């Protein structure tokens, strides 16, 4: 393998030239480590020699030597006589992906297209540093914040207000990701308060929840786990891609009288569809008329890749609605910070439901989120531009290697949702393992079965990996077509 060589000037261009906080060797090592973890310094690159770097960066040779020694000790570089210091990522005990998300374990030669989640945003280590310096102020307290840190709740409330849904910080609960918020919402809504049950009347099943098909697999698992009976609305599909027919949803609600709904109107996972303004208003009217309390999952709302104005948030159109959101798709899923926006009259009920599940999100990660929100617009712009180019690259791979698959490139989100010429998505996901590719088959996204003709293809892995997806997909597809059985079409347990 040839090793890209990085000149000292280039390295300084990437990590900056100080000023270095004392001890300088530690801050220099930290700057290099930060650039490696956020991908600005590619794995495999060869760093300049200690002497060359010292001359360009204006530090002593001893300082650069100690910085390299620290990086070596932390496994960020591997130094071999004759071949210099090569950038690498430190090993993580047990790997970088949890066995619950990837039961067969991680394999470095495989391309993992099972998750719609990006790597950490640049500057996350800097944000941790700044947050640590604020943490001291919180240590004399107990650290339990079941509602969330007031400073973060204020920022989130203000963001809703600026989007057109006036929100008081008291309406915000900070949760363990959007998923944690959805679990609290489901639990609270299915556990109806007695006076509300009386108002709803006996004819309504309080366990029915309207969901789209396809939908986010973990939502299916959470809803079913909470005892919900799913009322499935199949998204329409036409030449423009997937969309919502609000008349059909209206009729379905009239017939089935669900208590609640879990919907993803903003760059829906897995289709990437975005609900238009007029449909939002029609849907809000229908939900209100049928007295359905919806939960809107806005996890992907900031992932519009084509610019343009976003339609109104559903919380601005339907006051008795719950919204969940998070920073997982913009900053990092590892922060596990999300939130819910709750109608005022439901706050107490939701807060007590939350206390039955956990006692709050970690203080440090909330502070890190506050720090990152300072440069939110720049972080979002960076994520969008990375995703846009990754989306186009993956779409080009699919079109040239499996040209008989149908693809409508979505205007946002993190995945393509491809239609196969035959219902063999489950077989394809099995065959793919023989070709170094991990996929999640369409049936995983089906609340009521089916969808074996569809395959989700996330474009969140690095571009050098995406460039290898086409040939692997084509080989796996040939194998899947030759398989006699179609493979199990049951759902996997958890899919991110």
Ligand X SMILES: Cc1ncc(COP(=O)(O)O)c(C=O)c1O
Nearest residue (CB) to ligand X, 269 versus 369: 269
Minimum Å distance from CB 78 to ligand X? 33
Rg (CA), the chain: 24
Q: Token digits for 10?
A: 């280039």
Q: By beta-carbon distance, which residue lies closest to ligand X?
A: 177
Minimum Å distance from CB 235 to ligand X? 14
CA 345 – CA 320 distance, rounded (Å): 9
Nearest residue (CB) to ligand X, 112 versus 297: 297
CB-CB contact of 108 with 89 (8 Å)? no
Minimum Å distance from CB 302 to ligand X? 12
CA 160 – CA 151 distance, rounded (Å): 15
Q: Which residues contact 241 (CB under 8 A, 6 or more apart)?
A: 271, 272, 273, 408, 410
Burial 286-315, CB ≥16 within 10 A → b, else e: bbbebbbbbbbbbbbbbbbbeeeeebebbb
Nearest residue (CB) to ligand X, 17 versus 98: 98
CB-CB contact of 459 with 416 (8 Å)? yes
Nearest residue (CB) to ligand X, 54 versus 264: 264
Minimum Å distance from CB 218 to ligand X? 7
Q: Which of 301, 335, 324 is nearest to 412 (CA)?
A: 301
Nearest residue (CB) to ligand X, 28 versus 220: 220
Minimum Å distance from CB 323 to ligand X? 12
CB-CB contact of 89 with 41 (8 Å)? no
Residue that the structure tokens 């495989």 belong to = 110
Minimum Å distance from CB 147 to ligand X? 18
Residue that the structure tokens 């530090």 belong to = 59
Euclidean distance between the first and final Cα of the chain, in Å? 33
Nearest residue (CB) to ligand X, 24 versus 211: 211
CA 241 – CA 249 distance, rounded (Å): 18
Nearest residue (CB) to ligand X, 50 versus 266: 266
Phi, psi dihedral angles at 391 (to 5 degrees): -60, -45
**Run of H or E residues at 353:** helix 347-355
Minimum Å distance from CB 225 to ligand X? 15
Minimum Å distance from CB 230 to ligand X? 16
Phi, psi dihedral angles at 238 (to 5 degrees): -145, -170
CA 326 – CA 339 distance, rounded (Å): 6
Minimum Å distance from CB 186 to ligand X? 13
Tell me if the bond preceding 91 is cis, omega within 30° of 0: no
Minimum Å distance from CB 377 to ligand X? 20
Give the residue ranges of DSSP H helices in 245-295: 246-256, 277-289
Task: Indicate the pairing of strand 208-213 with strand 46-47.
Answer: unpaired
Nearest residue (CB) to ligand X, 53 versus 446: 446
Nearest residue (CB) to ligand X, 48 versus 412: 412
Nearest residue (CB) to ligand X, 50 versus 297: 297
What torsion do the CA atoms of 389, 390, 393, 397 make, to the nearest 10 degrees? -170
Minimum Å distance from CB 98 to ligand X? 12
Nearest residue (CB) to ligand X, 178 versus 367: 178
Minimum Å distance from CB 465 to ligand X? 19
Nearest residue (CB) to ligand X, 31 versus 189: 189
In whole angstroms, how far apart are CA 295 and each of 10, 187, 194, 198?
A: 48, 12, 21, 22
Which spans of this chain sit near ligand X (rule: CB under 6 A)? 116-117, 177-179, 216, 264, 269, 297, 299, 326, 328, 333, 338, 496
Upper half-sphere CA count for residue 461 (Cβ side, 13 Å): 19
């Amino acid at each position: 393998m040839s090793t890209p060589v990085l000149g000292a000037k280039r390295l300084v261009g990437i990590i900056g030239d100080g000023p270095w906080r004392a001890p300088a060797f530690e801050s220099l090592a930290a700057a290099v480590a930060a650039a490696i973890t956020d991908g600005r310094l590619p794995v495999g690159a060869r760093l300049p020699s200690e002497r060359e770097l010292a001359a360009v960066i204006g530090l002593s040779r001893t300082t650069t030597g100690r910085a390299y020694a620290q990086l070596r000790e932390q496994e960020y570089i591997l130094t071999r006589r004759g071949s210099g210091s090569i950038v690498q990522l430190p090993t993580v005990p047990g790997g970088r992906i949890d066995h619950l998300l990837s039961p067969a374990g991680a394999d470095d030669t495989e391309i993992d297209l099972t998750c719609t989640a990006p790597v950490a945003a640049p500057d996350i280590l800097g944000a941790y540093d700044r947050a640590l310096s604020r943490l001291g102020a919180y240590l004399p307290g107990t650290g339990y914040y079941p509602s969330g840190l007031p400073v973060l709740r204020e920022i989130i409330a203000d963001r809703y207000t600026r989007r057109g849904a006036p929100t008081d910080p008291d309406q915000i609960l900070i949760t363990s990701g959007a998923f944690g918020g959805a679990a609290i919402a489901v639990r609270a809504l299915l556990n109806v308060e007695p006076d509300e049950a009386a108002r709803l009347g006996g004819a309504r099943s309080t366990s029915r929840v309207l969901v789209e098909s396809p939908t986010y697999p973990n939502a299916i698992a959470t809803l079913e786990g909470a005892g919900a009976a799913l009322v499935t609305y199949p998204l329409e599909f036409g030449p423009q891609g997937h969309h919502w027919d609000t008349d059909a949803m209206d009729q379905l609600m009239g017939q089935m009288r669900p208590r609640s709904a879990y919907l993803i109107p903003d760059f829906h996972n897995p289709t990437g569809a975005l609900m238009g303004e007029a449909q939002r208003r029609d849907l809000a009217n229908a939900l209100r008329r049928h007295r359905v309390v919806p939960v809107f999952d806005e996890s992907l709302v900031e992932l519009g890749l084509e610019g343009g104005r976003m339609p109104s948030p559903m919380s601005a159109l339907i006051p008795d609605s719950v919204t969940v959101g998070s920073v997982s798709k913009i900053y990092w899923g590892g922060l596990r910070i999300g939130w819910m926006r709750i109608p005022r009259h439901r706050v107490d009920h939701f807060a007590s439901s939350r206390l039955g599940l956990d006692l709050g999100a970690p203080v440090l990660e909330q502070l890190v989120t506050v720090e990152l929100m300072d440069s939110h617009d720049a972080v979002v712009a960076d994520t969008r531009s990375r995703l846009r180019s990754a989306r186009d690259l993956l779409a080009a791979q699919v079109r040239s290697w499996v040209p008989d698959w149908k693809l409508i490139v979505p205007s946002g989100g993190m995945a393509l949702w491809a239609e196969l010429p035959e219902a063999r998505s489950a077989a394809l996901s099995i065959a793919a393992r023989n070709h170094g590719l991990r996929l999640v088959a369409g049936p995983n996204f089906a609340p009521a079965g089916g969808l074996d003709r569809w395959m989700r293809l996330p474009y969140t892995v690095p571009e050098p990996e995406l460039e290898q997806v086409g040939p692997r997909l084509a080989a796996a597809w040939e194998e899947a077509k030759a398989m006699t059985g179609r493979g199990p079409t049951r759902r996997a347990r958890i899919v991110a």
